Amino acid sequence: MSQPLEFDATRLPCPHMGASHEAWRKSLRSFVDAEIAPNINEWDEAGAFPRELHQKAAAVGLLGLGFPEEFGGVKDGVDLFHSIIASEELSRAGSGGLVAGLMTHGIGLPPIIALGGDEIKQRIAPSVLAGEKLIALCITEPGGGSDVANIKTKATRKGDHYVVNGEKTFITTGCRADYLTVAVRTGGEGAGGLSFLLIEADRPGVSRTRLAKMGWWMSDTASIHFDDVEVPAQNLIGQENAGFAGIVTNFNMERLTMAAQAIAFSRVCIEDAAAWARERQTFGKPLAKHQVIRHKFAEMVRMVNASTAYLDNCTWQVQNGASPIADLSLLKVQATRCMEFCAREAMQILGGAGFMRGCRVERIYREVRVMAIGGGSEEIMNDLAARQMGL
């Protein structure tokens, strides 16, 4: 390695990436370095980033990546590895809150594209992919997270509209969103009674409360109440009582991209800790010359390499039409445990310097838990994988 332990040097070569992927990485890195990285600390302390960043991201093709071109997306010549690169380059800035807030359409819009009719897709997708409107996915409820089959928020059909009552919580971009993609119960108990409903956030009866969090400060997270909210029946996304499959598919992609982010955050931790260890003098020599410190780096790189290989394999499987639920579940666990280990070890190496705000490692350390819980907790992921194995 000509540049030992820097961000690029800790990414294993991927046999599935070619010239177009490297060109995309170079273009996106220029955008992140110019528009995002210099402002991360300020935005984190302010608890928000400028809304116009969405439009800037749309202009460079980031928001539309992988979405149909008829709605303003970028589909031709794009595969899942381009999306993995997007996750890695955004994470390089060292803020999960930035990634979650800027890319919230990545979980809010796919159910509309996958399940919705032409009218609702044409009405919603173009403005979202242009960065003009924001959309949030609303699944989690106060009484349950991963147990989506028991969603309680109810949508009752009354003539040409639905009346929605219930509550969602831990909703990313819940306060800023213009549109809400809401999992609701339109039928009986269990998975067979669930639907997706598009709810405009300014409808009467919708109220939102911003939640204070350990990390992801610049990404708003909300509890949303629906009190007799009237929603036109044309806002139904797909068929009534057929939303569960869409929820599960959405989770699979969310877990893949979260794994890519977690591994990239691990590489950030290695990079910053290595830079510090090379400069910090202790007992008459650089910190990096102490064997116990060198072993920490060896362990971090070992975990990153294993996680990256698993990531690339899972991405290749999905790219080729597979739905490896067990592998995607285990990948997320592997990636977030890698992130937790690297954040812990990097913090130890940085010592007091890592405890200070404004440090990428400090921010990543605060965000470990949300990565390990969000999108499916480690316990849920392990149990889901075991069940997929027939146990």
> Of 257, 171, 172, 219, which Cα lies nearest the Cα of 366?
219
Q: Is 362 a catalytic residue?
A: no
Distance of alpha carbon 291 from alpha carbon 269, whole angstroms? 19
Residue 247 phi, psi (nearest 5): -65, -45
Give this prediction's pTM: 0.94
List per-residue pLDDT tens for the chain, 391 residues long. Answer: 446 899 999 999 999 999 999 999 999 999 999 999 999 999 999 999 999 999 999 999 999 999 999 999 999 999 999 999 999 999 999 999 999 999 999 999 999 999 999 999 999 999 999 999 999 999 999 987 667 888 999 999 999 999 999 999 999 999 999 999 999 999 999 989 999 999 999 999 999 999 999 999 999 999 999 999 999 999 999 999 999 888 888 888 999 999 999 999 999 999 999 999 999 888 889 989 999 999 999 999 999 999 999 999 999 999 999 999 999 999 999 999 999 999 999 999 999 999 999 899 999 999 999 999 998 999 999 999 999 999 8
Options 88, 254, 340, 345, the catalytic residue: 254
For Cα atoms 155, 160, 163, give the angle at the middle one, nearest 5 degrees. Answer: 25
Domains in the chain, start-ordered, CATH in brackets?
8-107+114-129 (1.10.540.10), 135-243 (2.40.110.10), 245-388 (1.20.140.10)
Distance of alpha carbon 112 from alpha carbon 182, whole angstroms? 11
Two tokens at 55?
């439009």
> Of 22, 85, 28, 93, which Cα lies nearest the Cα of 61?
28
